């Protein structure tokens, strides 16, 4: 990494309001990604040695967890209390809530277990908006084509088609739940249209938002709906540490660990939906992250050990505009809404170097290129480029206070006025492009196990469009919840048969035969700097 240009010199070269021309040495996209994106390079991938994806490439730090031993053995759960439910949903973000609500609407008894509290998730941190083709100048076909193109044509076309067709109904459902959206028009005609914005990589304006905290508003109505639904039993502060399997290898429930009571509880279920989110808090490739505290790839680890196939395990999204300075806020997200509104990226020479509304992997790689080649800006040991918010405010007075509220709050935490001083930004680990391989109902390759949201794969290929994450979690969450409830109803009668962690013993044999260590354990549950030790916790409680 080059040293970069001193901040003071970069500020002298920066001219707000002058709109510098785009530098004309852009690399072809494949070459730009190959040379600068973190998913590429000599140490970006390693083949998996065990499991359903044996021999396929995986990000090395994630591979270590996927090929780890379980956190528990039979002795840990001997005598543990047992609960039963028809559908167990793991994860309290948008996908988990949508799945739980859909399952309950089908008449199923649902338990929703979440590691932290209901709503503590990446959903609340999604600022920019949700995509849905509702405009007269737009169509699901265009949305479909944009999504496939942005994902480098690696997504599952059937899943993408399903998602984009769900878009308008998802918006109607959210409005019925009470969610607010930004509107345009003066209302004199008796109605106002939903405000639509154009995201990077899209061919039409189809982002619907509520200011720049759309996910927070969405999570508000989802959380309220879950808490008011009598068929949903909520288990806060209860991470899942292992799945249960029956004698046929089906998923038969899960083992949860109650953080407050410091005890294991076995939950028998006819169907389990993993909606555990992403992997940002693993800080892959040593990047800062925009993700919430619990995003440690738990669902991938648990599903893989049970035998589920995964996909795109070497593909992650690095959002272009994470905070670079001050260091204690590194990785905090500045929404794409700022670039969508017109904010530009400026290097230490005062140059504009990329179309800010290109797909995210392209913009992030372009920023990394500037930093690698010495045109980045260095301030107090932190490297990045400028996001030109002063010029945005000058061109559209009031936009920072009225439409980019979260950005203004973040600027206050950074100790700066975004109308006068540009942000220093650098890519931040933002999204897990792949995950559990699912079908159109969210079903995995293991009977009884479903996936939804960021824990699942197939909808985004190798790069995700802004706004498709919030659509994904609701489209797939609702479908998985409905399918799981219908499967539970079809099974009928009381839950019978044995369930345990026999698959863990088979997994340990597979690890041993592959020469892999048994002392590495996963899921990690919390980031390394949390200093959380499950067995030490239990020992202290005893």
DSSP 104-137: HHTT--EEEE-SSSTT-SSGGG--S-EE---STT
Give the active site residue among 292, 319, 325, 462.
Answer: 319
- H or E element that contains 210: none
Q: Is 509 exposed, middle or buried (0-12, 13-18, 19+ CB in 10 A)?
A: exposed
In angstroms, what CA-CA distances link 318 with 193, 285, 429?
33, 11, 4
SS3 assignment, position 540: helix
Catalytic member of 231, 305, 339, 460: 339
CB 503, CB 446: distance < 8 Å:
no
What is the DSSP code string of 413-474?
HHT--TTTSPEEEEEEEEEE--EEE--TT-B-SSTTEEE-GGGEESSSTTS--TTHHHHHHH
What SS3 class is residue 340? helix
339 is annotated as an active-site residue: yes
Half-sphere exposure of 333 (CA within 13 A, CB side): 23
Measured CA to CA, the distance from residue 443 to residue 295 in angstroms comes to: 22
Tokens of 347: 């290097």
Q: Which residues contact 379 (CB under 8 A, 6 or more apart)?
A: 6, 7, 324, 325, 424
Pair 103, 89: CB distance under 8 Å: yes
Query: Annotated catalytic sites, by residue?
Result: 319, 339
């Amino acid at each position: 990494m080059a040293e970069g240009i001193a901040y003071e010199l970069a500020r002298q070269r920066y001219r707000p309001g002058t709109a510098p021309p785009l530098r004309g040495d852009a690399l072809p996209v494949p070459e730009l990604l190959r040379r600068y994106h973190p998913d590429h390079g000599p140490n970006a991938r390693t083949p998996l040695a065990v499991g359903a994806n044996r021999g396929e490439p995986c990000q090395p730090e994630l591979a270590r967890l996927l090929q780890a031993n379980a956190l528990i053995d039979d002795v840990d759960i001997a005598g543990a209390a047992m609960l039963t439910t028809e559908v167990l949903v793991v994860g309290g973000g948008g996908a988990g809530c949508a799945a739980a609500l859909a399952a309950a609407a089908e008449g199923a008894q649902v338990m929703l277990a979440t590691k932290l509290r209901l709503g503590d998730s990446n959903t609340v941190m999604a600022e920019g908006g949700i995509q849905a083709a509702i405009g007269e100048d737009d169509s699901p076909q265009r949305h479909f084509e944009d999504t496939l193109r942005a994902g480098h044509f690696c997504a599952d076309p059937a899943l993408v088609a399903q998602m984009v067709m769900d878009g308008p109904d998802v918006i109607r459902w959210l409005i019925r739940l009470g969610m607010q959206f930004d509107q345009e028009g003066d209302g004199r005609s008796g109605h106002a249209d939903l405000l639509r914005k154009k995201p990077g990589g899209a061919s039409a304006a189809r982002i619907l938002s509520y200011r720049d905290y759309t996910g927070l508003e969405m999570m508000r109505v989802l959380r309220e709906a879950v808490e008011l639904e009598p068929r949903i039993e909520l288990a806060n502060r209860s991470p899942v540490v292992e799945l249960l399997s029956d004698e046929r290898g089906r998923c038969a429930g899960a083992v949860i660990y109650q953080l407050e009571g410091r005890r294991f509880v076995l939950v028998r279920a006819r169907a389990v939906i993993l909606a555990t989110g992403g992997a940002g808090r693993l800080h892959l490739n040593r990047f800062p992250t925009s993700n919430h505290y619990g995003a440690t790839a738990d669902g991938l680890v648990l599903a893989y050990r049970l035998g589920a196939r995964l996909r795109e395990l070497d593909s992650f999204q690095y959002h272009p505009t994470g905070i670079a300075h001050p260091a204690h806020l590194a990785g905090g997200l500045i929404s794409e809404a700022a670039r969508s509104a017109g904010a530009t990226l400026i290097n230490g020479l005062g140059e504009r170097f990329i179309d800010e509304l290109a797909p995210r992997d392209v913009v992030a790689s372009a920023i990394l290129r500037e930093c690698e080649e010495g045109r980045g800006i260095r301030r107090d040991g932190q490297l990045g480029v400028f996001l030109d918010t002063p010029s945005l405010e000058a061109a559209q007075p009031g936009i920072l206070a009225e439409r980019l509220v979260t950005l203004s709050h973040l600027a206050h935490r950074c100790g700066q006025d975004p109308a006068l001083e540009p942000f220093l930004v650098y890519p931040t680990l933002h999204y897990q492009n792949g995950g559990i391989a699912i079908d159109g109902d969210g079903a995995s390759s293991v009977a009884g196990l479903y996936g939804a949201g960021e824990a699942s794969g197939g909808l985004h290929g190798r790069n995700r469009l802004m706004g498709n994450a919030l659509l994904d979690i609701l489209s797939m969450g609702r479908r998985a919840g409905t399918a799981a409830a219908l499967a539970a109803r079809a099974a009928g009668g009381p839950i019978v048969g044995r369930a345990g962690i026999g698959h863990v013993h088979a997994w340990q044999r597979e690890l041993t035969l592959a020469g892999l260590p048994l002392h590495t354990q996963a899921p990690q549950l919390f980031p390394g700097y949390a200093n959380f030790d499950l067995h030490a916790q239990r020992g202290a409680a005893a």
